[in-house]
Structure 1
Amino acid sequence: MAALVTSNHLPLLSTCTTKTILQPRSSLRTTTETPIHSRRPSFMINIPNIISNILHIGTTGNPFEENLFIQDSYNRTTPAASPKENISSLQDELHGKSNWSNLLNPLHPWLRRELIKYGEFAQATYDGFDYNPLSEYHGSALYNKNRLFEKLGLVSSGYNITKYIYAMSNIELPQWIEHSLHANTWSKDSNWMGFVAVSDDTESHRIGCRDIVVAWRGTVATTEWFENAHLKLESINDVDKEEGDAKVEHGFLSIYKSKSETTRYNKSSASEQVITEIKRLVAHYRSKGEQVRLTVTGHSLGGALALLNAHEAASTIADLPVSVITFAGPRVGNDAFGDKLRKLNVKVLRVIVKQDVVPKLPGVLLNEGLEKFERIIGELQWVYEHVGMELGLDVKSSPYLKHHKFDLAGFHGLETYLHLVDGYVSEEDKYRRNARRDFALVNKYGGMLLEKLRVPESWYQLENKGMVRNAYGRWVMPDREPEDIPSPCRDCKPLAIHESL
């Protein structure tokens, strides 16, 4: 393959010359010393600063020339996305064939766009979720799989959803899953956790393959991680029984594997639902002689489920290229689990914001940092380890964000991640001036934007909180369109290929 040269980028290597599993994180950590006012009593404790110092997530930064950017930010006629280019010549490298060698620093513009594409699929699992505890369909998707991308403005993505994924929400699992107050109406046991989609003919030609995508939903409240991310590793227990000491976090595996014959949506587990659909799509497109690959994405908890999904798919489907793109993903398993992913040739790219605490969990203390003591204490089967390449982002790099604000939810939000990806150039360069993605999306569920940008906090919500006036003049919760009412027959069974595409 001929080397591709772009401005500000080195020629791509045909083979990976180094075996890099973890990008050093020491360069991503900063320690900020804040002088204590001499008049303050010496015993006063600044809790945010203490947490910040412990987790290396300093929130103060150097002054930024904000006005240079802000002046251009009010131009409302600039398209919010870059034009799509044919990237088929680079498709293997964009999916990690060489561990993204020479694509991350500086960030290749084609990779940036693909990261945002997959991130927006993960974001769709939030935007399309019914969070309203008063809704009789709380915990389900707001729209059916044929309307979701249309309602969320993703029709131009070039993908079509073929199946929804549901996971158990019983009380034996950590409280990461929503419970409906009207459980008997649609489901007392299940939550909508994501979808399987596949690229259409036009997009497949553009990217150079038929791309099957699985997008997993994550959690909303960052505090849930401190309550539920326990140091409890258990065997992955794969069918081939060759996992050895590979272990993963108990709660993640429970969500992925749980099922019950008494439920409407989880007679089969999330694992069984998604693997069955992937196998179906792979068989169909391979029978047509097409090159097929799998890309699994997710944010937060969704990033953990993405790794479990990728591991299972690579273990059960022969010769299927599998790559994982996660945002704010936590540690999932031990070193043996990471070794198994590497042996299966699963390529993992983790996008993290260094101020975000979730990628530091589980195992804030018991993590891969203990590897240097392995000769003394033996092989570490009981600690957590990240796997894959890391793209580290910094809230302080953006002139649009509040650098002084200690905001755990804001640091963790997927829209914050996508905003930073869109502006990222390299470890040395500042936020790029020609970033296209609408910065207003950062405040969709939070308030990380500077006030001078005049974007309301948490603006993404249904008008009048979903209440409508009926024919008698009374304000009521509206009925859903019939096609958007959850139905096991419609949601749990895939469409025929010709119908879904």
Structure 2
Amino acid sequence: MALSTMIHTHLPQALSGGGMNRISAVYVHQGVASDTKLNRGARRLAESLTTLLNLNIEPLCSRKNLQYSNWDSFDDEKHNTPTTSPKEMIADKWRELHGSSDWEKLLDPLHPWLRREIVKYGEFAQATYDAFDFDSFSEYCGSCRYNRNKLFEKLGLSKNGYKVTKYIYAMSAIEMPQWLETSRLMDTWSKDSNWMGYVAVSDDEETRRIGRRDIVVAWRGTVAPSEWYEDFQRNLEPIGIGDAKVEHGFLSIYTSKNEFTRYNKSSASEQVMKEVTKLVQFYQGQGEEVSLTITGHSLGGALALLNAYEAAVNFPGLAVSVVSFGAPRVGNSAFRAELDDLGVKTLRVVVKQDLVPRMPGIVFNESLQRFDDITGTLEWVYTHVGAELKLDVSSSSYLKRGFNPLGFHSLETYLHLVDGYLSAESAFRSSARRDVTLVNKACDMLVDELRIPQCWYQLANKGLVRNEHGRWVKPRREPEDIPSPTGEQAHDLSLRIEMQESYTCCMQAKNLAIC
């Protein structure tokens, strides 16, 4: 059997244990327990393919790098310290940190200021998972659980100094993978769309610290590693007017729309560009320096590149950068060349053991470019772009060894490794501050000695609450958190808005009277 046939036919079952259905594959990012045990034959296949891919994964029983002999002391050593490093004033260095020199001499060793910025953008990407309604029994499945004014407050991200200005929705019915299907219920908030991310902008205080007004776009990714193998070599199709080509499925998610839908009368592309245009024009009109930073994990990293390409075409001279995590290849070498010509700066954070950054183009990728003299330019070859920060699971004594594709690909695993990274030759830094417990949000990657439950991030009682009669029911959302309130809900929401506006006017009048 040919290698490509073997990968395409058998590896999805190997990675998913042969029993992971599509909806549970989506859940792996969300802390919903799913069966990921591999049967003996599938494990042998997976280990063989791991060897072929040269992932160098250590045996499950290996504990060579453990630093702690008494894990009971972990609470005292880590739990009583802040989870973030102090913020530095980086106003005079923002262009270098934004990639003006392609992060030369900043990645190895990793500059502490850059580390903190990478974690910040990674947390913005993680927010798209933490706030997403994955409950397939919910009438709001596929939406964000909070309105944009509460998103960062609910997720503890207000400290970052940004404000969400716009939500982005993508089609779930046109050219969309089944893992983006919405609800099991027919009566749902939207049969056609899913919440896909958001646009945010730095507030005045953060703007002074970082030296410019920073517009952020965060894209959600939901794909599990097994699903990259189900469709590991999709067709490339043209983008723009040159020879640049990108993967068909990614472009479809970014550009699909339907005038008969509620949320995707305009595409995700049109939604995000309309908001970015408004913000860029407003802040540049105020005489401010403006940057655009686009982030995403997995599929979100692919969408981030497409977004960056479009933004750079529409805003010549705007500082555009991408910080992606575990992102797949998106296009061919001509696409990479166009991004370079447009001045887009891309920093790809990858984990050596993660399979997704090797997709698509597991065989036909940028490594063939060394044979240009023989093959010529291959328009159908997938190519990564930008600078790479490569991390290694084995560097952290907190993480289990063994074959764990879901854990390797988890964004929280990535952020843990970034926080502990010093250089390619250094051990995991002992002064790393980010809460280690976060790693097990949606997977089982922490060593058992830490006694942290796997997949612990979920709503209490799976979201059920007791009503006034003592019965367990699904709670009603607050009107302001409903994606599209109608009828009585809309009326309640308008009353709340009127009351809030009246209160604001009264307070302003009171302050003026005092003045």
TM-score by length of 1: 0.86
Partner of residue 439 from structure 1, selected from 427, 433, 436:
436
Distance in 1, Cα, partners of 2:156 & 2:42 = 49
- Residues 163-206 of structure 1 deviation map (CA, whole Å, 9 limit, x = unaligned): 00000011532224132223443100100000000000000000
Residue 328 (structure 1) shift: 0.1
- Please state if 1:215 is matched with 2:187: no
Change in Cα spacing, 1:252 to 1:470, as seen in structure 2 (3 Å) is same
SS in structure 1 of the partner of residue 229 of structure 2: helix
Matched residue type, 1:50: S
Report the identity percentage.
Answer: 60
AA aligned to 1:468 is V
Does structure 1 retain, via aligned residues, the 8 Å contact 2:175–2:253? no
Q: Which residue of 2 aligns with 1:125?
A: 128
Q: Is the 8 A contact 1:265 1:488 kept in 2?
A: no
1:267 alignment partner AA: K
What corresponds to 1:63 in structure 2?
64
Alpha-carbon deviation of 1:44? 12
Residues of 2 paired with 1:228 and 1:135: CA distance?
A: 29
Residue 332 of structure 1 corresponds to 330
CA distance in 2, matches of 1:72, 1:221: 35
Match of 1:34 in 2: none
1:115 maps to 2:118: yes
Aligned to 2:177: 174
In the TM superposition, what is the alpha-carbon distance from 1:77 to its structure 2 partner?
Answer: 1.2
Instruction: Give the deviation of 1:234 after TM superposition.
Output: 0.2
Who is 1:47 aligned against? 45
What is the rounded CA distance, in whole Å, between the counterparts of 2:276 and 2:187 in structure 1?
Answer: 31
Q: How far is 1:62 from its partner?
A: 7.1
Q: Deviations over 1:286-305 (max 9, x none)?
A: 11100001000000000000
Deviates more, 1:48-57 or 1:81-90: 48-57
What count of residue pairs does the alignment treat as equivalent?
Answer: 445
Residue 132 and residue 399 in structure 1: after superposition, are their counterparts in 2 closer, same or farther (change >3 A)? Answer: same
Partner of 2:145: 142
Partner-residue secondary structure (3-state), 1:162: strand
What is the TM-score with the length of structure 2 in the denominator? 0.84
CA RMSD of aligned residues (A): 2.0
Equivalent in the alignment of 1:305: 303
- Residue correspondence of structure 1 range 295-374 to structure 2 within 5 A: 295-374=293-372
Note closer, same or farther for the CA distance 1:62–1:271 as it changes in structure 2 (3 Å cut).
Answer: same
1:224 is displaced (CA, Å) by: 1.9
Tell me the SS of whatever aligns to 1:349: strand
Structure 1 CA distance for aligned equivalents of residues 65 and 381 of structure 2: 39
Structure 2: distance between partners of 1:278 and 1:68: 51
- C-alpha contact (below 8 Å) 2:198/2:219 kept by paired residues: yes
Query: Which one of 231, 251, 262 corresponds to residue 264 of structure 1?
Result: 262
1:206 and 2:213 are equivalent in the alignment: no
Of 343-352 and 64-73, deviating more is 64-73
Mean Cα deviation higher: 367-376 or 294-303: 367-376
Cα separation, 2, equivalents of 1:314 and 1:45: 44
Aligned pair 1:192/2:175, yes or no? no
CA distance in 2, matches of 1:296, 1:45: 37
AA at the equivalent of 1:167: A
One-letter amino acid matched to 2:181: E
Which moves more between the two structures, 62-71 or 115-124? 62-71
- Structure 2 portions without partners, runs of 5+: 1-40, 491-503, 505-515
Distance of 2:429 and 2:156 partners within structure 1:
25
CA distance, structure 2, for counterparts of residue 138 and residue 260 of structure 1: 20
Instruction: Single out whichever of 73-82 and 289-298 deviates more from structure 2.
Output: 73-82
- Aligned counterpart, 2:381: 383
Quote how far apart the aligned CAs of 1:71 are. 6.3
